[in-house]
Chain A
């Protein structure tokens, strides 16, 4: 991301980012409410037009709204609500067809997030966590190099947070790059290779998680680093 910024007016600039994400790494973006995480995700996924800047994908400057760019990533939105009257399988099959993916992959994705048994149940009977898992399955469907996940563990119970970490590690082993946002810093410590902290639209810290939490051989939790008091 090179100078990616969004201005709502001449004076109101909400985000200004220079960031490099390496291939096959798990990158976590942290920040409080209103820090600009969602705005960044919207620009990164082509939903919002940046005022300035560009996104280079393996050195190539692609139009963020082009099909070519959109074929390079999958996206899991924050708190997605799927149509109540459709079944989990129907929802995934729809998204799969949009990318020309077959039904076998749909079943695989449902198995992966533990929804295969309830695949023919209407979404209205799904809990929040189940919908979140379905959203994750939707993002896991295509074989794309980059996965962008917005608050992926929201609403997941501890077992599924654990499974989520396993799934993401497996994705990394398969060479996928994972970019996710979260409020949960313990998740960042356990899962991410690198992390950045966003505050008022600016990157305050960006380094490997190891370097961040181990300073002079002493372990310092991320929350102490990110939320260091001015004194």
Chain B
């Protein structure tokens, strides 16, 4: 597993993908931090800067994690590297966990670099941005990457080519980031009023992006953005039960795709060809 993880990190570090992702994420993080500081709108809690940073996290990290993971894995399958690996005395668990660790370490290094750069901007500009707030965002970014890299493994294992992996990744990303909200809004129009809150609560757990979005906003004491109708939800979600369920849901989103990928690999990826 260690050798597979190391190999994956080397591959990612040498590819232009990670450099591109790193540059894009760092420049956006620095820009948002810098421009967020110029508004004079206060820096604690949910404000312009945190909202922008949250949006970058929620849009960019899922997309890039899905793309990097699925394209690398499907590419390896297309080039027969994965099939060759399966003829070696290594277990499917070692292959998947090794690849997952390698992917995560690579994305983690990019996120650390991006947030590090943002921290430097804050330090040199003498802005009053809370470091703990930035750290919280960093933590949520890593959680997002952990979930979406895990999903990317499933896509990579199932896709028959890089192009198919690209297509599936984009569809999943677009659904979770863009269309899911419309779907929930549409559903809420059709449901009885008393079903609204339970439905919205469940909908948060069914989409990892919403899960992280809601928890990020609550962590920033920004519950007011949800409006008075969802006051009960924010109280519940911010409590012990809510936090516990959040961690549980996060672990499920991270672990289930990994387990599923291992199961698929055990059945034999060549079977589908």
Contact = CB atoms under 8 A, between A and B. Distances in A.
Contacts of A71: 89
B262 to A, nearest CB: 13
Interface residues of chain A: helix, strand, loop or mixed (majority): loop
B3 A81 contact: no
Given A83-B11, A85-B11, A97-B3, A49 B268 contact: yes
A124 B270 CA distance: 26
B81 A47 contact: no
Contacts of B232: none
A70 B80 contact: no
A48 B14 CA distance: 32
B89 to A, nearest CB: 4
B3 A80 contact: no
Given A47-B270, A49-B268, A86 B14 contact: yes
Nearest to A76: B84
Interface in A91-115: 94-95, 97-99
A120 to B, nearest CB: 14
A45 B7 CA distance: 23
A108 to B, nearest CB: 19
B84 A75 contact: yes
Contacts of A70: 87-89
Contact of B270 (A48, A78, A138): A48
Nearest to A80: B80
B259 interface: no
B90 A98 contact: yes
A79 B89 contact: no
A46 B84 contact: no
B105 interface: no
Interface string B73-113: 00010111101111111110000000000000000000000
A75 B87 contact: yes
A45 B83 CA distance: 10
B83 A81 contact: no
Interface residues of chain B: helix, strand, loop or mixed (majority): helix
Interface in B208-231: none
Contacts of B11: 83, 85-86
B87 A45 contact: yes
A199 interface: no
B80 A99 contact: no
A47 B88 contact: no
A75 B88 CA distance: 9
B3 A98 contact: yes
A95 B78 CA distance: 18
A41 B172 CA distance: 35
B14 A85 contact: yes
Contacts of B83: 42, 47, 77
Given A80-B79, A82-B79, A47 B89 contact: no
A81 B271 contact: no
Contacts of A80: 79-81, 84
A82 B81 contact: yes
B269 interface: yes
A224 interface: no
A99 B84 CA distance: 13
A99 B88 contact: yes
Contacts of B14: 85-86
A90 interface: yes
A136 B83 CA distance: 16
Interface of A: 42, 45-49, 65, 67, 70-71, 73-75, 77-83, 85-86, 90, 94-95, 97-99, 138
6 contacts: A47-B83, A47-B268, A47-B269, A80-B79, A80-B84, A99-B88
Question: 3 tightest A-B contacts by CB?
Answer: A81-B79, A85-B14, A47-B270
Given A85-B14, A98-B90, 19 more contacts: A45-B87, A47-B83, A47-B270, A48-B271, A49-B267, A49-B268, A67-B91, A70-B87, A70-B89, A80-B80, A81-B80, A83-B79, A85-B15, A86-B14, A94-B7, A95-B88, A97-B3, A98-B89, A138-B84
